Amino acid sequence: MEERPCAVLLKFPGTNCDAETSRALEEVGFVTEVLPVSALKPEKLVGVSLVVLSGGFSYGDYVMSGRIASLVTEQKIGKTLGDFRDNGGYILGICNGFQILTQLDLLPSGSLVENASGRFQCQWVTLKNLAPKSPFLTHLPEEFEFPIAHAEGRLVTKEAAEAAGYISGGVAALTYRDDVNGSFERIAGLQDESGRVFGLMPHPERFLHRQDHYDPDWKGTGEDESRGSGYYFFRSLHESITKSN
Amino acid sequence: MRETYEISDRFIEAGDANHLLYEPLSSGLTFRRTRRYELEFEGVRPPMEAFVRKTLFDEISQEFHEGEEPALKGFTFFLDYGMKPGALDLEKETILRYYSGIKDPGFTLKDLKIRQRIYLFGGKAEESGRFVRDICNAAIHQWTVTQANA
């Protein structure tokens, strides 16, 4: 029997999307463990293929979103996540998890700040897949939809030219088709140079099934019409990990 | 010893101040927010400032200001507000808990006071009362209003 890859979902006080992300991962074939940050130790990542930082409002978004979670993670396990990546591990950050990954310097330099609208935005967005070879995106088409729900999702870089470089350099894996929140270059998701660390503001775990879509007549874009695009996001990842193991 | 820092955002433009009020004003004020931290500490200054920069400041998206001088210019007035002493300030507690987990911080943090600062631009200073009424909660907040000519 094929061994199922193990995913650990780190849970901080205020993380609130771990259960549905765990369900999504199990649906595509992962075995999952939700790990409270209080129990986080380097040895907890032994035998693990994927670390996931789920969405939510870790530590109430105090100071700025993701800041305290990144500091506490560093305090507890130092540079272990970097070593984990260097040893072939995959890391995924969704929404607040993306904000934490940027703070941990595991992704190209950038910060996620208040939306240009100054408001919390909860809506569906169309995304452009700029990295079809990414382990996270192989089963997704050139354009697809995911929902977003964030107040601080505007990706900025110290200089605007840096963000333009992310597009030309291939580390901007996802962009919004429309200007949703004022993100530089409309960037919605970033990957690191290795391709194994990936962060995105939209929520793939909220679109596993066709009926999750706002349009009851929506037709699936993948081989199984009953599946939503989020399913194919996680399936891409599962396939990449099982192939690389 | 006591040090004061004010952190402002580089990328967030001044917004319509009516968004802060229950009933709009007609005078077209705009606003910007900053955060002000007052630290009381013992020991040497460099590790304390390194802590502040690492914990409370984002060098990509923010600007760092030291001292009492307001970080922004051209305002009509600003409103500082924060939790009353004795009221539970969860943000402060979170920061202090993180500080207490640092093995050798190199200084002793005795107290931390966090204030939200809202700068109002345009309009009249007399309109500050409306902002105090709609933003501050007398049960839990302390606040001060500072006029530009103060």
Residue B2: helix, strand or coil by DSSP?
strand
Look up A203 and say whether it is catalytic: yes
Q: How many CB atoms lie within 10 A of CB A123?
A: 10
| C-alpha–C-alpha distance, residues A183 and A166, integer Å | 13
Which residues in chain A have their CB less than 8 angstroms from residue B15's CB? 118
* Residue A101 counted as domain residue: yes
Residue A21 sits at φ, ψ, to 5 deg, of -70, -40
pLDDT at A205 exceeding the cut of 80: yes
| C-alpha–C-alpha distance, residues A186 and A210, integer Å | 26
Task: State the smallest CA–CA distance between residue B104 and chain A in angstroms.
Answer: 12
Task: State the smallest CA–CA distance between residue A39 and chain B in angstroms.
Answer: 15
pLDDT in tens, B66-116: 999 999 999 999 999 999 998 999 999 999 999 999 999 999 999 999 999
Q: Using CB atoms within 10 A of its CB, is residue A240 exposed (0-12), middle (13-18) or buried (19+)?
A: buried
* Residue A1 counted as domain residue: no
pLDDT in tens, B48-57: 999 999 999 9
Domain that holds residue A106: 6-244
Q: What is the ipTM of this complex?
A: 0.90
Which residues in chain B have their CB less than 8 angstroms from residue A66's CB? none
- DSSP code of A230? H
Tell whether A61 lies on the interface with B, counting CB pairs under 8 A.
Answer: no
| Alpha-helical regions (H) of A87-228 | 96-103, 160-169
- DSSP code of A87? T
Task: Point out which residues pair with B120 in neighbouring strands.
Answer: B31, B77
CB A131 within 8 A of CB A173: yes
Q: Please give the tally of structural domains in chain A.
A: 1
Look up A95 and say whether it is catalytic: yes
Tokens describing residue A98? 């993306």
Q: How confident is the model at residue A223 (pLDDT cuts 50, 70, 90)?
A: confident
Look up A139 and say whether it is catalytic: no
- Answering whether pTM is above 0.90, one says yes
| C-alpha–C-alpha distance, residues A130 and A146, integer Å | 15
Mean pLDDT of chain A: 95
- CATH, residue A119: 3.40.50.880
| CB-facing half-sphere around the CA of B89: CA atoms within 13 A | 22
Beta strands A6-11 and A50-53, pairing class: parallel
pLDDT in tens, A37-69: 999 999 999 999 999 999 999 999 999 999 999
Identify from A12, A63, A101 which residue to disrupt to test chain B contact, counting B C-beta atoms within 10 A and taking the largest count. A63
Which residues in chain B have their CB less than 8 angstroms from residue A118's CB? 12, 15, 19
CB A109 within 8 A of CB A162: yes
Residue B119 sits at φ, ψ, to 5 deg, of -90, 130
